[in-house]
C-alpha cells in the first residue's frame, strides 16, 4: 500500500481536506497527517482519524508567521519524520509549513513532493516589501517541488517564473473543493424559525459574512457600509460567522456606530449551511484571497454575492453571480446592498444561476483531479 503524507495546519485539514483524505483512503492509500495546532481543531482530527484504518495524525511546533524562532523546533520535527519514514507522496500547504516540509524532504529519493498554493502571499496590489519577501521564499522553495498546484489564474501565471525540480510541473485546479450538495434554501416555516433563533425577523434583509475576523478579511468595511444605511435600510442585518483577533475591535466599532442591533457576531459555526439557508445576500471585503471558498459556499446556497475585487474573487464572481467591486470601500458596498435590495427580480435570476455555476467548484469535481496530479 502506497503512503501519502499531508502537512498543513489543523484548521486547514479539518476545513478542506477531510473529503480528500477519505477519497485517498478509498483509493488504497495509507494517509498520515502532520499538522501545526494553530486553530484548536486537533481533537476533531484525532476523532476523524480514529475512523480511518490506514492513517495517523501527529502535530509539530510551527507557527503561521515565518518570523517565529519557535519554527526551528517544528522544522527539526519534520526533519526527523523525513529521515525516519518513507512516503511515496507528500502534499504540503501554506507558506511556513510548505517551505519547511519541502526543505525536510529535499533529499528524499523516490518521494514526489506536491505543494498546493492556496493564494501566494505576494499578489498584485500587495505591499512592495511583502511581495518581495514572499516571492523570494516561494521561488526558493519551488526548487524542492515536483508539482506546484495553484487555485487561481494569477498565481498560476506567477508560478511560471519559478524554477521547479527537474521535470517539475505547475498545475491549476479550481479550488480545493466545496461540498455544494449540503447547501440549500429553507422553507418559509423553517426560515422563520431559524431567523427567530438568530434574533431576526422574516422581513429583514440578511447578509452573510463568513471568515476569520482579521485584518485581511476587512469586515470593518462591511460594518461601516451597514452603518451608512441605518436610515435608508434599517431592516438590513449582517451575520458574521467566524472568530479571530479582530473580534473585540469590531464589536467596539459596532457600538461606536450604533449598529449593534444590525450586526450579529455568531462566532465559529458548524451549521453554516443552515444559517446560509435563511440569508438573502453574501458579502466579502477581503484584500487577499486564494479563491474565496466562503463566497462559493454562499453561491451554493443560492445567494447573490457582493465582493471586493481581488485575484481569488475575480476567478469566481461574474455579473451573473453578483457584484465585483473595483473599489473596496464602505460607500461602494452600501450602494451595492441598496441596488440588490431594490432589484428582487435580478436577485432571483442570480440565485438560480449561482446554484448551477457553483458546481464547477464542487468537491466531487476536484478530488479526482487533485489525486491524479499528486500521483503524477
Confidence of residue 39 (pLDDT cuts 50, 70, 90): confident
Rounded distance between C-alpha atoms, residue 323 and residue 339, angstroms: 10
pLDDT at 52: 82
pLDDT at 67: 84
Task: Look up residue 94 and give its three cell numbers.
Answer: 501554506
278: closest CA among 298, 308, 295?
298
pLDDT at 51: 85
Fill in the DSSP letter of residue 212: -
Instruction: For the chain, give the percent of residues with pLDDT over 70.
Output: 100
Q: Is 1:83 a contact under the CB 8 Å cutoff?
A: no
Confidence of residue 366 (pLDDT cuts 50, 70, 90): very high
94: closest CA among 64, 72, 58, 135?
64
Fill in the DSSP letter of residue 142: H
DSSP-H helix ranges across the chain: 10-12, 18-26, 42-49, 71-84, 95-104, 128-142, 153-159, 188-197, 219-228, 247-256, 272-276, 293-300, 311-314, 330-341, 344-357, 363-375
Expressed in percent and rounded to 5, the helix, strand and coil fractions of the chain are 45, 20, 35
Average pLDDT of the segment spanning 308-316: 96
Read off the pLDDT of residues 274-296 as tens digits, 9 standing for 90 and up.
999 999 999 999 999 999 999 99
CB neighbourhood size of 358 (10 A) = 22
What is the CA angle 93-37-41, rounded to 5? Answer: 100
Average pLDDT of the segment spanning 313-326: 95
Instruction: For the chain, give the percent of residues with pLDDT over 90.
Output: 94
Rounded distance between C-alpha atoms, residue 278 and residue 307, angstroms: 19
For 274, residues 6+ apart whose C-beta sits below 8 A from its C-beta are 186, 194
Residue recorded with cell 440588490:
340
Average pLDDT of the segment spanning 208-231: 97
Tell me: pLDDT of 10 over 90: yes
Confidence of residue 71 (pLDDT cuts 50, 70, 90): very high
Rounded distance between C-alpha atoms, residue 298 and residue 292, angstroms: 10
Tell me: pLDDT of 197 over 90: yes
pLDDT at 195: 98
Burial class of residue 163 (count of CB atoms within 10 Å of its CB; 0-12, 13-18, 19+): exposed
Read off the pLDDT of residues 178-191 as tens digits, 9 standing for 90 and up.
999 999 999 999 99
Tell me: pLDDT of 53 over 90: no
What is the CA angle 29-33-36, rounded to 5? Answer: 165
Confidence of residue 21 (pLDDT cuts 50, 70, 90): very high
Amino acid at each position: 500500500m502506497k503512503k501519502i503524507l499531508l502537512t498543513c495546519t489543523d484548521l486547514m485539514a479539518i476545513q478542506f481536506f477531510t473529503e480528500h483524505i477519505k477519497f485517498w483512503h478509498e483509493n488504497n492509500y495509507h494517509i498520515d497527517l502532520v499538522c501545526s495546532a494553530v486553530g484548536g481543531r486537533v481533537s476533531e482530527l484525532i476523532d476523524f482519524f480514529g475512523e480511518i484504518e490506514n492513517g495517523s495524525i501527529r502535530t509539530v511546533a510551527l507557527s503561521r508567521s515565518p518570523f517565529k524562532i519557535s519554527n526551528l523546533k517544528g522544522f527539526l520535527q519534520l526533519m526527523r519524520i523525513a529521515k525516519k519514514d518513507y512516503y511515496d507522496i507528500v502534499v504540503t500547504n501554506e507558506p511556513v509549513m510548505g517551505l519547511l516540509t519541502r526543505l525536510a524532504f529535499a533529499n528524499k529519493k523516490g518521494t514526489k513532493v506536491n505543494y498546493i498554493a492556496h493564494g501566494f502571499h505576494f499578489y498584485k496590489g500587495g505591499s512592495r516589501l511583502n511581495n518581495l519577501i514572499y516571492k523570494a521564499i516561494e521561488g526558493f522553495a519551488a526548487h524542492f517541488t515536483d508539482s506546484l498546484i495553484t487555485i487561481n489564474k494569477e498565481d498560476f501565471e506567477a508560478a511560471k517564473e519559478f524554477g521547479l525540480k527537474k521535470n517539475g510541473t505547475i498545475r491549476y485546479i479550481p479550488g480545493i473543493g466545496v461540498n455544494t450538495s449540503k447547501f440549500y434554501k429553507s422553507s418559509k416555516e423553517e426560515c422563520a424559525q431559524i431567523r427567530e433563533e438568530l434574533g431576526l425577523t422574516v422581513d429583514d434583509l440578511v447578509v452573510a459574512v463568513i471568515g476569520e475576523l482579521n485584518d485581511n478579511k476587512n469586515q470593518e468595511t462591511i460594518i461601516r457600509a451597514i452603518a451608512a444605511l441605518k436610515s435608508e435600510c434599517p431592516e438590513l442585518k449582517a451575520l458574521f460567522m467566524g472568530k479571530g483577533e479582530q473580534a473585540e475591535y469590531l464589536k467596539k466599532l459596532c457600538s461606536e456606530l450604533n449598529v449593534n442591533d444590525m450586526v450579529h457576531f455568531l462566532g465559529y459555526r458548524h451549521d453554516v449551511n443552515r444559517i446560509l439557508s435563511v440569508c438573502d445576500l453574501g458579502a466579502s471585503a477581503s484584500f487577499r484571497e486564494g479563491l474565496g471558498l466562503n463566497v462559493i459556499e454562499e453561491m451554493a446556497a443560492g445567494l447573490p454575492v457582493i465582493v471586493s475585487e481581488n485575484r481569488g474573487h475575480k476567478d469566481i464572481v461574474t455579473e451573473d453571480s453578483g457584484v465585483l467591486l473595483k473599489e473596496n470601500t464602505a460607500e461602494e458596498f452600501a450602494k451595492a446592498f441598496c441596488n440588490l435590495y431594490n432589484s428582487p427580480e435580478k436577485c432571483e435570476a442570480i440565485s438560480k444561476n449561482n446554484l448551477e455555476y457553483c458546481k464547477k467548484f464542487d468537491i466531487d469535481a476536484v478530488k479526482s483531479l487533485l489525486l491524479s496530479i499528486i500521483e503524477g
